[in-house]
Chains A and B, each alone.
Chain A
């Protein structure tokens, strides 16, 4: 029965459902201010309301430069969800699953596409040779330190974050 429904769904889904949204679109997840520079204390130049559609122009660290209805400005990256307004990426992705391998219980292989499904993981056979190859690439702590130094990566103290109580 489920299978029949699935088939029905597949037929009903328009071609191209689940294809990538324009990469530069976004939606405000919550109300937040827009600032002139990507810093918390930069001058406020506007604001976003929850649900506002924006175009993401640039990314720097934890900030997006966005343009919505009003003036453009920088907003905290995590105040914006990438993707089109009104479309939950969950629904979109799961919709496309029905055309793929999951849920049907059958592995649909496409030339050149190599997946790693639950079934394949369960059926996996131990490969000592490949594991030894992986272990041959292990680097020492000292070598990793040299690599970091080359990239001017400075080790610094930072406490782990507290979990958020309840739903954010």
Chain B
């Protein structure tokens, strides 16, 4: 009975928030497709959306017919990412440990060097928060919370987590979300102007790190998982570091409010693990000399 009530309440909450977000998305879509403001017939009625369990995910709409993304010059991408990173750091500052920050940058830079964007000015950091979460911003900014860092048992797990975030940057997942939301879409007059300085990026992004609270679509997360394990493997690490952390997050959530945002913005770890497991299969069986470097993991102060 208790469970029933709980489920009912949760379902109600989920569909409610899902409906709101879908509605918002729909409006954005309409705006992009039809900038003159005439409303177009809804391809998916909100009521129907509520019935579907996947509709509870605010970020999993069926791929909308958005025009192809314009190319954002790398310099502009970095300015946008810099603004988001600065906003995030305003909410949670760096953990005060140069040894830890230096270490995370060395591991992260090495893993990023195995990616398709090895020459970005990659910036990694551990931020003060008991929440379990990690964030990536365009242009090569990657942050883990101290709550997540605390769960790590070796360097391979760190490499895997960073690999997942690096994948978001490589695939420009957040940049694409911003483009969809018209903050910087191809038709926007702001984009047509060169982003001259940080001030303009500030105008585009505004304050707050809402983009990081909103989450990406599920497929982007699954893709980043698959890429994260490969990036760690390419960098010489044991590829099962990322799934080990996901198992840890799925199993041990004593202070469960600490995973609230992570669970809201990502598919559940069980689903991520099932997909990642199926994709990994026996593909890594022949890999030799992978390192975990448990002894080298720098602990939180």
Residues of chain A whose beta carbon lies under 8 Å from any beta carbon of chain B: 2, 5-6, 8-9, 12-13, 18-21, 23, 29, 39-40, 59, 61-62, 76-79, 81-83, 88-103, 108, 113-118, 120-128, 130-131, 133-135, 137-141, 143-145, 147-148, 151-164, 167-168
Residues of B with C-beta under 8 A to A161: 226, 229-230, 279-280, 283
Max chain B CB contacts within 10 Å: which of A92, A127, A161? Answer: A161
Contact B9 A138 (CB under 8 A): no
Contact A77 B244 (CB under 8 A): yes
Residues of B with C-beta under 8 A to A141: 109, 113, 118-119
Residues of A with C-beta under 8 A to B283: 161
Residues of A with C-beta under 8 A to B83: 126
Complex Cα gap A134–B97 (Å): 11
Tell me the minimal C-beta distance from A22 to chain B in angstroms.
10
Contact A100 B251 (CB under 8 A): no
Max chain A CB contacts within 10 Å: which of B129, B278, B293? Answer: B278
Listed from nearest, the 9 A-B pairs whose CB atoms lie closest are A100-B257, A78-B277, A153-B236, A96-B256, A82-B251, A124-B91, A144-B109, A168-B278, A127-B90
B298 within 8 A of A: no
Contact status of A155 and B275, CB under 8 A, knowing A9-B9, A160-B227: no
Interface string of B270-287 (1 = CB under 8 A from A): 100111111110111101
Residues of chain B whose beta carbon lies under 8 Å from any beta carbon of chain A: 2-3, 5-7, 9-10, 12-13, 82-83, 85-94, 98, 101-102, 104-107, 109-110, 113-114, 118-119, 121-125, 127-131, 133, 141, 145, 155, 202, 207-210, 212-213, 219, 222-223, 226-227, 229-230, 233-240, 243-244, 247-248, 250-261, 263-264, 268-270, 273-280, 282-285, 287, 289-293, 296
Main secondary structure of the interface of A (DSSP, over half): loop
Complex Cα gap A99–B256 (Å): 9
Residues of B with C-beta under 8 A to A2: 9, 12-13
